[in-house]
Amino acid sequence: MNGSHDGSVDGGDTDPVHGDPVAPRIIFENDELMVLDKPSGWHTVSGKGDARGEPSIEAWLRKRDPEAEHLPEAGLIHRLDRGTSGCLIVARTLDASEVLQEELRDGRIQKRYLAVIQGRIGRKGDFVLHFTSRYRGSRKMRVTSEGDHTVRGRCRWWRRDDLHPGPGRQTVEVDLMGAGRRHQVRAGLAFLGTPLVGDTLYGGPDAPRIMLHAWAVIIEGRRIEAPIPPGFGAEADD
């Protein structure tokens, strides 16, 4: 995939209070794909928040480029929860969409997250857990140690002692192994007794946003990072 361009193409304003971007920003693009920095508070696909006037990346892509009408979900390769910010991969052609979907399923695309947890966790570790819906239409996922391989999710993590999000909290870097299950990082870390700050659905303390950021994706050996937002403990927060 050649002809690449790194950097913010569409600008993107920031929230004057929290410093979070309030519009998507293109942080990488070439002829076949884009990687967006998705703001927290945006849906990935259209539908759920339309009646309430809540923005979605899919609608933004369709408005930005009429050619996106010819692509499934305007070229989106995967999804992020509404409260999660960071790297979102978008195909620009049907061929690229098929290739990227296959690479994602096979684990050839790596995804790294930063999460701020409440409590303390080991220096590094991993989990293999099973994620199922509690009941039809439930927002919350049920997590178990045992289960069918079709609902299995794997993560490994490293504690980021160079990041300081505040008393009683730690920032961890999470490698989402494989395509991922719904709420895998959120529900998995809560199952371990360390819920995400802002993730009240899974027992985390209240905060202005869920403290989960899709920090980086690695596609065909190229690492693309979304800037770390305020609150995750980076030096820029000081």
Domains and CATH numbers, the chain: 1-106 (3.30.2350.10), 110-228 (3.30.2350.10)
Q: What is the 3-state secondary structure (H, E, C) of 104-145?
A: HHCCCCEEEEEEEEECCCCCEEEEEEEEEECCCCCCCEEEEC
**If pLDDT is split at 50, 70 and 90, which confidence band does 143 have?**
confident
Return all residues near 106 (Cβ < 8 A) that are at least 6 apart: none
- State the average pLDDT over residues 12-22: 48
**If pLDDT is split at 50, 70 and 90, which confidence band does 135 have?**
low
130: phi then psi, degrees, rounded to nearest 5? -125, 135
Check if the beta carbon of residue 175 is closer than 8 Å to that of residue 157: yes
**If pLDDT is split at 50, 70 and 90, which confidence band does 51 have?**
low
Check pLDDT > 50 for residue 186: yes
Check pLDDT > 50 for residue 130: yes
Check if the beta carbon of residue 113 is closer than 8 Å to that of residue 173: yes
* pLDDT in the model for residue 3: 47
Check pLDDT > 70 for residue 87: yes
* pLDDT in the model for residue 153: 84
Check pLDDT > 90 for residue 17: no
How far is Cα 230 from Cα 14, in angstroms, rounded to an integer? 11
Return the biggest CA–CA distance within the chain.
Answer: 49
How far is Cα 111 from Cα 223, in angstroms, rounded to an integer? 10
> What Cα–Cα distance (Å) separates residue 50 from each residue in 46, 54, 55, 69?
7, 6, 7, 18
Among the options 20, 37, 81, 199, which is catalytic? 81
- State the average pLDDT over residues 139-166: 89
Specify whether 81 is catalytic: yes
Check if the beta carbon of residue 114 is closer than 8 Å to that of residue 232: yes
* pLDDT in the model for residue 18: 47
**If pLDDT is split at 50, 70 and 90, which confidence band does 223 have?**
very high
* pLDDT in the model for residue 111: 93
pTM of the predicted structure, to 2 decimals: 0.85
Per the DSSP assignment, residues forming a β-bridge with 6 are 28
How far is Cα 127 from Cα 188, in angstroms, rounded to an integer? 8
Check pLDDT > 50 for residue 236: no
Check pLDDT > 90 for residue 105: no
Higher model confidence: residue 1 or residue 66?
66
* pLDDT in the model for residue 10: 39
